[in-house]
Amino acid sequence: MSNAEKKEGKELTGVNKTKHIDSQKEDQYAKELNIAKKELLFQHVEKQKRAAELIIANIELDYQKDEKEKRADELLIANEELIYQNSEKENRADELIIANKELIYQNSEKENRASELVIANKELAFQNKEKEKRAAELIIANKELIYQNAEKENRASELIIANKELAFQNKEKEKRADELHILNEQLRAKEQQLSNHIHAIAVSNASIEFDLEGNILNANENFLEIMGYTINDLKGKHHSLFVDKVYAASSDYKLFWNDLKRGIYQKDEFKRIGKQGQIVWLLGSYNPILDIAGKPYKILKLATDVTLAKTQFLELALQAKEKENRASELIIANKELAFQNTEKEKRAAELIIANKELAFQSKEKEKRAAELIIANKKLALETIQKEKRKAEKEKAAAALIVTNRELAYQEKRGKELFLANSELKKAQEELEAFSYSVSHDLRAPIRAINGYTQILLEDHATNIDDDGQRVLQSVIHNSRKMGLLIDDLLAFSKLGRKQVSTETINMASLLNGVISEIGVDNSSKIPVFEIESIAYANGDPALIKQVWINLISNAIKYSQYKPEIRIKITSFPKEDNIVYCVKDFGAGFDMEYYDKLFGVFQRLHSQEEFDGTGIGLAIVQKIINRHHGTVWAESELDQGATFYFSLPIINI
């Protein structure tokens, strides 16, 4: 073999070795790319889970915020009731002091009248002695007087019987009043017991998960204990296990699950059936859990067992009805007593006439008898008034007792509200920590994906074909999109905790600044703005600026395929609000899907047609709601869309 042939053989061997090394490198790059794809898929799944958890956390935070506002309203009402009760208590105390003074005065007057009556009796005895001396001269007059005295005795007997009847009726009235007092005490005890049960129920929550067809996936121990099942009894079974057969076969039940499949949140007081056939009342909500595409993939139910409170409430209502019946009976008895008093007064009038006729026969006796009758009437009237004052005094004392008990209950309620507010504050702090953790944990892998992909494109572009480079560009694009999605999601979460500072906003100036910023970012087509007179508003300038940015950016984005981007902005007053309007002439949307327009991750156009994260309008709605305003839209497909938002007019 010649030297040339040897040299050629060595060169062939070197070329083969180089090809072999290149082949090994390509295999290694393919393996690394497969690993990167697997990591990307794994992180995508983790991202979906974290996003779902963040959505649930936001729902829970909104629920806790609503509960906090309700508790705050209850505390304000309780404080107002407490102030009113203190005022009533002071008035009752003043009335009681006046009643005591009047009672002392009446007792003194009664003693004076008794002394006068003793003197009158002594004078009557003296006159009787004088009458006996003249008895001989007045035999005929005495016989007539005896007859008249007999008539008087008969009338007096009738008056005694009437007085006994009145006394008996007064006793019956007092018994009825005592029974009513006892019923009031029992009702208050039941109300306190019901309050204690409600407080105990509030600390226990039950949860259960379903798939979109209503099949049970999982349940916590509280739910299993309330319903009497084990987890093995429930897994794979249908939700209709908990409802009666008639409702399970009804159209209402099918509509209930269809709404859940569409992502509609359900909250109510639900009647359910336990394992042993017992009726269970649950206060709670059915929460659709959304995937990264904004579609429900399972249902989470959160509930509290209110069976005991519901039962006691029904019992309390029955007792209240019985109390009303007793009160009606007492009213009828009082009417009967008033009627009898009227009859008694008629009899007394008849007796007065008889006494006057008898007094005509004996002038001396007539004067003293008339004085005695008047004295007896006044004494009877004073006795009745004394009894009335005594009854009012007892009633005032009972009212004071009730007031003191209500004050004690309000104090206890205030402590409960303070504890609930502390728990809500703690939950908000935990959610902030969770949001920070989600931000950090999701950003780190995305930065790694983006960095590794950039290295592949910059340092190994010669070893990757065109299809591979397109895939890597797609990875970079989607990782950047995911970063923007995380930013929007965290911004949406922080809106619920940001303090809203209110001041007067020059909307025209703010709007011009927003248009200037957006005009720099969208230089492909220059938008044409038609702006009429824009009214001033009251609100947080930073948040309202974000509303204008989102609405105008959307108007530009959805008009990009039109020959001209034209946007019209106006404002007008409506009742106690200022309404602002942003109108475009772009792609528009179908009003049939309006209920999804302001939802998180809800999109009415495809990602390929119009880019975006699906959070912009949700942020707009949340900001306007924080300002106690309203946001809505009108549109026709391919004819453009008009978005409105209102802000209250605040006179400063």
Candidates 51, 38, 36; CA nearest to 451 is 36
Note the pLDDT of residue 520: 46
Cα 645 to Cα 68: distance, rounded to the nearest angstrom:
27
What is the pLDDT confidence band of residue 198, given thresholds at 50, 70 and 90?
very low
User: Would the pLDDT of 481 be above 50?
Assistant: yes
Q: Are 425 and 64 in contact (CB under 8 A)?
A: no
Q: Average the pLDDT over 347-375 and give the result.
A: 77
Q: Which residue has the higher pLDDT, 635 or 180?
A: 635
What are the C-alpha distances in Å from 181 to residues 35, 184, 338, 401? 81, 5, 22, 12
The pLDDT of 277-304, averaged and rounded, is 90
pLDDT of residue 62 exceeding 80? no
Report the share of the chain in percent with pLDDT over 70.
Answer: 73
Higher pLDDT, 21 or 209: 209
Under 8 Å between Cβ of 208 and 301:
yes
* Number of continuous H segments (helices) and E segments (strands) in the chain: 12, 12
Domain coordinates in residue numbering, the chain: 501-648
Residue 52: pLDDT band (50, 70, 90) is low
**How is domain 501-648 classified at the architecture level of CATH?**
2-Layer Sandwich (3.30)
Dihedrals φ, ψ of 353, to 5°? -60, -45
Q: Are 475 and 449 in contact (CB under 8 A)?
A: yes
- Confidence category of residue 202, pLDDT binned at 50, 70, 90: very low
Out of 143-157, 362-376, 506-520, 522-536, least confident range: 143-157
Give the residue with greater pLDDT, 141 vs 599. Answer: 599
Percentage of the residues of the chain whose pLDDT score is greater than 90: 16
Residue 553 vs residues 354, 583, 608: alpha-carbon distances, Å = 104, 12, 17
Residue 537: which H helix or E strand, with range?
strand 537-539
State the chain's maximal CA–CA distance in angstroms.
195
Q: How far, in Å, CA of 36 to CA of 42, rounded?
A: 10
8 A C-beta contact, residue 272 and residue 227: yes
CA 104 to CA 109: how far, in whole Å? 9
Task: Record the tokens describing residue 613, joined without a space.
Answer: 């994260």
What is the C-alpha separation between 522 and 477, in angstroms, rounded? 19
Cα–Cα distance measured from residue 281 to residue 453, given in angstroms and rounded to the nearest whole number: 56
For residues 437 and 486, give the distance between their C-alpha atoms in angstroms, rounded to a whole number: 12
Residue 626 structure tokens = 């924080």
Q: Per residue in 450-478, pLDDT tens?
A: 788 888 888 887 888 888 888 888 788 77
How many CA atoms, within 13 angstroms, populate the side-chain half-sphere of residue 220?
A: 10
Tokens linked to 593: 């899907």
Distant-in-sequence, close-in-space partners of 294: CB < 8 Å, separation ≥ 6? 263, 599, 600, 601, 602, 603, 614
Range of weakest confidence among 28-32, 264-268, 489-493, 528-532: 489-493
CA distance 37 to 397: 82
| Mean pLDDT across the chain | 78
